Amino acid sequence: MQITDPTPHTTEASRATARRQQILAAAAQCFREHGFHGASIARISKIAGMSAGHIYHYFENKEAIIAAIVAQDLETLLTLTAELRAACNVRHALIERAAEGVLDQLDPDSAALKVEIVAEAARNSHVAQIVREADATCRRELMVTIRAIRSAAGHDDTPEATADMVEVLAALFEGLLLRTIRNPELDRKHVAQRIQLAINDLLDQPG
């Protein structure tokens, strides 16, 4: 299966961007199916519908493609937490959104790539840096959100306590990535409900 570009490119710039995106889409598919090291430039180029050599017109090397994929994946996470923070009744918004977020995390295809990214971060310092910076931003956002919810409920937590709660919340969510791979038959809807309950309890934990 080959990824073709359906949009005609009026300018040179858009053509180049489209081509880049085409490569990234092909690479994401390959990385999902074979991992960062198992996916070859030859395979990526075949799916992207261009020669292997031509890939190097748009990316310096394979590492740069990996970095771009990682950055792209993390960007969606960043917008999600930012969006969450913007909601007016934050507690309600958080718990409502949670069910949706849980189902997203439980999609096996996207989970595979996300897990691959963390695995790569454990051994590739460049990827680790990108991942950790994005994570730090997310945590900061979540800390503000959770602090707002908690102080509305009369809790005056230390920053450390808030950070710990964020970690538990994050573990809960990210753990789903592993669960959907280890147990693809799990009941997605009911697990989402249980997670909502657990988040609710977490927000009421003593300081």
Partner DNA sequence: TAACATAGAATGAGCGTTCGATCTAGAATA
Partner DNA sequence: TATTCTAGATCGAACGCTCATTCTATGTTA
Q: Which of 94, 111, 142, 146 binds a second copy (CB under 8 A)?
A: 111
- Tell me how far, at minimum, the Cβ of 40 lies from DNA, in Å: 3
With beta carbons less than 8 A apart as the criterion, state whether 146 and 153 touch: no
Q: What is the DSSP string of 37-90?
A: HHS-HHHHHHHHTS-TGGGGGT-SSHHHHHHHHHHHHHHHHHHHHHHHHH-SSH
Tokens of 36: 């960062």
- By C-beta, is 100 or 187 nearer to a second copy? 187
| 13 vs 123 by CB, closer to a second copy | 123
Interface pattern 166-205 for a second copy (x via CB under 8 A) = -xx-xxxxxxxxxx-xxxx-xx--xx-xxx-xx--xx--x
Q: In angstroms, give the least distance from the CB of 43 to DNA.
A: 6
Residue from 12, 13, 53, 123 in contact with a second copy (CB under 8 A): 123
CA gap 73, 109 in Å, rounded: 13
Q: Considering beta carbons, is residue 65 or 149 the nearer one to DNA?
A: 65
Instruction: Convert 158-191 to b/e letters by CB count within 10 Å (16 or more is b).
Output: eeebbeebbeebeebbbebbeebeeeeeeeeeeb
Q: Pick the piece of the chain touching DNA (CB under 7 A) from 11-19, 72-80, 131-139, 185-193.
A: 11-19
Check if the beta carbon of residue 105 is closer than 8 Å to that of residue 111: yes
What is the contact mask toward DNA in residues 29 to 58, using x (rule: CB under 7 A)?
A: ----------xxxxx-----xxxxxxxxx-
Q: Does 207 bind a second copy (CB under 8 A)?
A: no
Are the C-beta atoms of 170 and 142 separated by less than 8 Å?
A: yes
Instruction: Tell me the C-alpha distance between 172 and 195, whole Å.
Output: 8
Residue 69 and residue 42: Cα distance in Å, rounded?
A: 17
The tokens 């292997």 sit on which residue?
52
Nearer to a second copy, 154 or 206 (CB): 206
Min separation Cβ 181 and a second copy, Å: 5
CB burial of residue 139 (10 Å; 0-12, 13-18, 19+): middle
Q: How far is the CB of 122 from a second copy (least distance, A)?
A: 4
**Chain residues that interact with a second copy, rule: CB under 8 A:** 32-38, 108, 111-112, 115-116, 118-123, 128, 131-132, 135-136, 139, 160-161, 163-165, 167-168, 170-179, 181-184, 186-187, 190-191, 193-195, 197-198, 201-202, 205-206
